[in-house]
């Protein structure tokens, strides 16, 4: 993580957000340093996706302030990349992997202009960074779950994003693919990118992430996973949704009703 006095990657103060009359997030305050790998955890309905959408500017705050690299969300939009939940993507749409990654360049080249050599080079570099350059001409419907996630991250990298927001990127992936994706997150973090990852997988956050935002419509806790993942704090966030079992070196995390 960078600590050279630069502006935080994300600074949130007094943030409350909702839809219609329903409040989803209440009075959040936190700062995330640049170059951090951060997990956003919490039970279903805790506000994880809403927080990402607010940082993207897709949802307007009811109250409070959000700054990204010291700028307003509007002014920082070109620095923010987003990988949505895989089930929100139409994987039957007839485009190639390279086509989708090129979409990350549209904010720079405009919808009515053709990509140039610099744009094609940025796409090739993004594909290489996530190690799927051999899939550039593959139809997106032919990709595995892990390849889908890598393609969506490559689109954010082609945009030249410094802050990458990922919504549940590990859902439905087997253990090996999850491990490969976590290695990619760490490489991007080590290259100076800031990643904010909404996830239900607390074991991955505990093993690999620098910081954790633990939400349940409010900020339950923020800090290193080793400080936050205690029975008391997790029970406060998850209540009856989480099963905590003592284990060597910490706590085993499971969900009621899942065996």
Ordered domains of the chain (ranges, CATH):
10-255 (3.40.50.300)
- pLDDT of 59 > 70? The answer is yes
Mean pLDDT score, 145-162? 91
Element (DSSP H or E) covering residue 50: helix 48-56
What pLDDT, on a 0 to 100 scale, did the predictor assign at position 173? 86
Bridge partners (DSSP) of residue 102 are none
Rg (alpha carbons) of the chain, rounded to whole number: 18
Per-residue model confidence as pLDDT tens digits over 189-216: 999 999 999 998 888 899 899 999 999 9
Cα distances (Å, whole numbers) of residue 54 to 24, 63, 70, 225, 241: 11, 12, 16, 24, 26
Question: Which of 36-40, 162-166, 204-208, 221-225 shows the lowest mean pLDDT across its residues?
Answer: 204-208
- Give CA–CA dist 157/160, Å, rounded: 5
Contact 156, 106 (CB under 8 A): no
Nearest Cα neighbor of 27 from 239, 227, 219, 173 is: 219
What pLDDT, on a 0 to 100 scale, did the predictor assign at position 251? 46
Nearest Cα neighbor of 146 from 117, 121, 176 is: 176
Contact 166, 198 (CB under 8 A): yes
Contact 68, 78 (CB under 8 A): no
- Residue 139 DSSP symbol: B
Cα distances (Å, whole numbers) of residue 84 to 23, 136, 164, 244: 22, 20, 11, 30
Q: Is 221 left (phi over 0), alpha (psi -120 to 50) or beta?
A: beta
Strands, DSSP E only, in 86-179?
163-167
Bridge partners (DSSP) of residue 163 are 80, 194
- pLDDT of 218 > 90? The answer is yes
Under 8 Å CB-to-CB from 153, ≥6 apart: which residues?
A: 81, 83, 130, 164, 166, 169, 184, 188
What pLDDT, on a 0 to 100 scale, did the predictor assign at position 85? 85
Element (DSSP H or E) covering residue 106: helix 106-109
Instruction: Indicate the pTM of the whole model.
Output: 0.86
Contact 235, 251 (CB under 8 A): no
């Amino acid at each position: 993580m960078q600590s050279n006095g630069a502006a935080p990657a994300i600074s949130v103060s007094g943030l409350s957000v909702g839809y219609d009359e329903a409040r989803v997030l209440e009075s959040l305050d936190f700062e995330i340093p640049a170059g951090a790998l951060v997990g956003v955890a919490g039970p279903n309905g805790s506000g994880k996706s809403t927080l990402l959408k607010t940082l993207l500017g897709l949802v307007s705050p009811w109250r409070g302030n959000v700054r990204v690299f010291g700028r307003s969300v509007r002014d920082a939009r070109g620095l923010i990349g987003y990988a949505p939940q895989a089930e929100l993507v139409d994987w039957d749409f007839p485009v190639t992997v390279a086509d989708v990654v090129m979409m990350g360049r549209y904010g720079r080249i405009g919808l009515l202009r053709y990509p140039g050599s610099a744009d094609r080079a940025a796409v090739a570099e993004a594909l290489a960074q996530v190690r799927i350059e051999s899939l550039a001409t593959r139809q997106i419907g032919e990709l595995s779950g892990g390849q889908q996630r890598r393609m969506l991250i490559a689109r954010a990298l082609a945009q030249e994003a410094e802050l990458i927001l990922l919504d549940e990127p590990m859902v439905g992936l087997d253990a090996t693919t999850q491990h490969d994706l976590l290695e990619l997150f760490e490489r991007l973090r080590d290259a100076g990118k800031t990643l904010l990852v909404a996830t239900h997988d607390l074991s991955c956050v505990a093993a690999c992430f620098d910081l954790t935002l633990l939400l349940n419509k409010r900020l339950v806790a923020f800090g290193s996973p080793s400080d936050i993942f205690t029975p008391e704090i997790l029970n406060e966030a998850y209540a009856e949704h989480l099963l905590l079992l003592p284990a060597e070196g910490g706590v085993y995390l499971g969900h009621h009703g899942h065996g």
